[in-house]
């Protein structure tokens, strides 16, 4: 008779085999226990709830810039994913880009194309190209399924691989908090789930390609991340870096990614 440990390992292995997706560009296999339909539904609800509780900035130069950059990167993402025969990964997306009044140096993107930039990020971004770095990076996290991957890992460890529908029924508050934390918007509930260095590297690489396709020079990314590092030295790390840990090798990695991104660069 097989032991409980053996049965668990067989079930776990089966779960991994049937719950994996491929990250664009790198081809890495990742654990995704949650369907895109479930994620998008949670995303849209959480996003609308967030906007209802925060001041959305409209009609300003900054808000218009967020909209403009977001739309260009949206087009780049759709073009890139279609060329990679991954256009189905964007099914159900309903893109939205909003600037929110908040001094935090932060930005995040949820599944389904829901993006928020905080006003505190604009001085660090400095201009449209700098904003494209951060928005391209955040959208890359969403497109690459990093939030799904983090949430799946947490469901596996905290709730024993409970399917999302069951988790929402039995542990609604815990699951909602986990969702917000997994997508970098969890500071209001006291939870932050940092991206791994591997996920950060993937988002940097993919984000550079997206911004290049959108007509922004990828070389701008070096200055942006330098400003982020300088802002961090001034006191507590910006929330953006709390969920996006910058390593000492990030600049070198970005330098290595830029030549690839430049192949996609078409100045506007």
Catalytic residue IDs: 138
* Residue with the two structure tokens 């192949």: 263
- Round to whole Å and give the CA distance between 124 and 113: 23
């Amino acid at each position: 008779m097989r032991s409980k440990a053996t049965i668990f390992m067989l079930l776990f292995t089966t779960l991994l085999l049937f719950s994996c997706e491929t990250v664009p560009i790198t081809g890495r296999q990742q654990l995704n226990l949650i369907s895109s339909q479930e994620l998008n539904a949670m995303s849209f609800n959480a996003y609308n709830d967030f906007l209802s509780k925060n001041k959305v900035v409209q009609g300003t130069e900054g808000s218009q810039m967020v909209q403009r950059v977001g739309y260009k990167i949206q087009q780049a993402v759709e073009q890139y994913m279609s060329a990679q025969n991954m256009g189905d990964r964007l099914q159900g997306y309903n893109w939205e880009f909003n600037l929110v009044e908040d001094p935090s140096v932060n930005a995040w993107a949820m599944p389904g194309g829901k993006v928020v930039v905080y006003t505190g990020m604009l001085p660090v971004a400095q201009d449209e190209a700098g904003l494209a770095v951060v928005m391209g990076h955040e959208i890359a996290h969403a497109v690459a399924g990093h939030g799904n991957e983090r949430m799946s890992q947490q469901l596996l460890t905290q709730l024993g691989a409970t399917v999302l529908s069951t988790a929402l029924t039995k542990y609604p508050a815990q699951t909602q908090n986990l969702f917000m934390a997994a997508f970098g918007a969890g500071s209001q509930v006291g939870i932050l789930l940092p991206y791994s260095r591997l996920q950060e590297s993937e988002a940097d690489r993919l984000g550079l390609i997206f911004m290049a396709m959108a007509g922004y020079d990828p070389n701008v990314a070096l200055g942006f991340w330098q400003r982020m590092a300088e802002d961090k030295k001034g006191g507590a790390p910006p929330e953006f870096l709390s969920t996006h840990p910058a390593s000492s090798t990030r600049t070198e990695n970005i330098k290595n990614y830029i030549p690839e991104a430049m192949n996609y660069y078409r100045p506007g």
